[in-house]
Amino acid sequence: MVADNATGTTGPAVYADDSEFQEIATERFMYNADKCKETPLVGHLLNLLPMPPLKTGVDPSTKQPIMRDWSAFLIRTTRPVLAINRDKQVAMVPPGSEVLIPATYELQQFVTKAATAPEVCFEVRIAPSKKIPLDHGQTMWLYKLAAKRVPNPRRAFGLTAVLAPHQLTAASASAPNEPDVASAAGSDDIPF
């Protein structure tokens, strides 16, 4: 806060270079195909991020939690989209929001290289199309994917596009170019 001696009021300091700063989003949303399928996720594919390990159960012999590594794609939206907030509520979020979508096997196969391209960011559209059954009662979403042909320079998106590149976990050290992907589809317990 800066005091204005002429008026006796205080307010935030304003500096000539304030307009040069680009805000780094610290509140992100999660796209869950089961709950958000009414709107496709459309925006700039900025990164592939390692996420906090996910508890998938308890080992019956050791009583220790079973943890699984997973990753998510980070997208800065260009259209309004339904997404889940930190309170686990589905809400319409505006363009410019940062939304995470789990790097499922299908998504990882088709967009990993684009998400990690060093010089450019692509605008993509990810729309859930069909849920299919897998073994052992699990299901998996299939997606309709599209991308604009002309990418934008990565530097135009600031630090968000370069912060926290995908890190190797112990499980992925043997396959350095393959990110760990979520194997359990549709979990509501995805950490933020």
Give dist(CA 141, CA 185) in Å, integer.
Answer: 8
Domain ranges (residues) in the chain: 29-167
What average pLDDT does the segment 149-158 reach?
90
> Length of the chain in residues, anyone?
192
Q: Convert 95-148 into a string of H (helix), E (strand) and C (coil).
A: CCCEEEEECCHHHHHHHHHHHCCCCEEEEEEEEEEEEEECHHHCEEEEEEEEEC
The pLDDT-based confidence of 166 (bands split at 50, 70, 90) is very low
What average pLDDT does the segment 6-21 reach?
75
In contact, 91 and 85? CB cutoff 8 Å: yes
**Residues whose CB falls within 8 Å of the CB of residue 27, separated by 6 or more in sequence, listed in order:** 85, 86
To which H or E segment does residue 63 belong?
A: none
Choice between 10 and 68, residue whose per-residue pLDDT is larger: 68
Q: Which residue has the tokens 């890190």?
A: 167
Res 20: pLDDT: 83
Q: Which of 153, 151, 129, 150 is nearest to 141 (CA)?
A: 129
| Range in 98-102, 127-131, 158-162, 164-168 with the lowest mean pLDDT | 164-168
Distances (CA, A) of 1 to 9, 12, 18, 26, 176: 10, 5, 15, 23, 48
Distances (CA, A) of 156 to 78, 161, 162, 178: 14, 9, 11, 27
pLDDT in tens, 39-56: 999 999 999 999 999 898
